[in-house]
Structure 1
């Protein structure tokens, strides 16, 4: 029996959500991910997580699926107040990695659970420090293709993890679905291993 729907196409989120002990189905829920003018990174990821969960709820209802909760999530990388989303091309990916090189940035992941008229949300914020990167390292990483679908142009669970000299926070949050926060959110609705 299915416990909920996941409004995400991310294979990383699917793998992580499975660890919470819920059974789920994927539901399509595209939303506009453009940041609003002067939107703080935390407000941005929480807004998108809620929007994805609510869009998933509407999509499931439009398809006459059973009325189950919908989980939505969004991750972004922030350098101060600058939001670094997914790169548009290789040059953009390289530019982002140069900005992150030798500095500490934040990775913010919002998670929301929509159950009709109610949407509950949590956020995970991690501080990630990159070693100083050479142009050759950046170019080789960009050529691998790994950064192209990831906020901030890197994946900590892949080759991008080689750049991380220090992490304070949630490894799974940086991957795209913070397990502790997600499990607590699900438990409030009686779902998952912590319920």
Structure 2
């Protein structure tokens, strides 16, 4: 049985696209970057922590697989998590304006049979964002609960000048890497 250790409705929707049966486990893990930890190591650790916490929450984990994922926006070695409030969201968007940033999505598949990892790096360039556009976008409510204060699949798609990498990875679950990871665990996604 496959479990998704995530509270993200976007991850659930994306995993459904692969045509695999799964259940959702809500887990709480600390998402705090440690001193000296690289952005990639941080994202990988959080994703693995989610998968392991999900596995530990199961009463019968003998034949279970738990998929954990984390996605973060990185600019100048700074990890942009979810904005705390409107001012934080606007500040993130101002920093991203007219610049290229990296979106790191890391996946861990954890079960009694082993642990497997996949990573997806995407490069996203925003066009120049004026303050009126930023304020209107923040007022829409869309930036909240999203790494980097934006949802590429929503209104923020109009801010993206260039994407090199995985659209679904920027959303939070890179489908190509997820399918490859599931096959490593003996789970066959539908074509």
TM-score range, shorter chain: over 0.9
* Structure 1 counterpart of 2:70, from 67, 70, 74: 74
- How many residues align? The count is 191
Contiguous gaps of at least 5 residues in structure 1: none
Structure 1 CA distance for aligned equivalents of residues 108 and 8 of structure 2: 15
SS in 1 for 2:30: coil
Structure 1 stretch displaced more, 30-39 or 169-178? 30-39
RMSD, aligned α-carbons: 1.5
* Unaligned stretches of 5+ residues in structure 2: none
Residue matched to 1:140: 136
1:175 aligns with 2:171: yes
- CA contact under 8 A between 2:61 and 2:111: conserved in structure 1? no
Give the match for residue 148 of structure 2.
152
User: How far off its partner does 1:194 sit?
Assistant: 6.7
Q: More deviation in 27-36 or 126-135?
A: 27-36
The match for 1:46 is: 44
Give the TM-score, by structure 1 length. Answer: 0.94
Q: Which segments of structure 1 move beyond 6 Å, counting only runs of 4 or more?
A: none
Could you list the per-position Cα deviations for residues 49-99 of structure 1 after superposition, in whole angstroms to 9, with x for gaps in the alignment? 1100000000113xx577410000000000021110000010000000000
Equivalent residues of 1:76, 1:109 under 8 A apart: yes
- For 1:22-37, what aligned pairs fall within 5 Å after superposition? 22-37=20-35
Is the contact made by 2:72 and 2:79 (CA closer than 8 Å) also made in structure 1? yes
> 2:107 is matched with which residue: 107, 111, 120?
111
| 1:6 aligned residue | 4
What is the distance in 1 between the residues matched to 2:72 and 2:161? Answer: 19
CA distance in 1, matches of 2:144, 2:117: 27
Contact kept in structure 2, 1:7 and 1:53, CA below 8 Å: yes
* Residue of 91, 94, 106 corresponding to 1:95: 91
Stretch of structure 1 that moved more, 31-40 or 145-154: 31-40
TM-score in terms of structure 2 length: 0.96
Separation of aligned partners in 2, 1:15 and 1:192: 17
Task: State the secondary structure of the residue aligned to 2:143.
Answer: helix
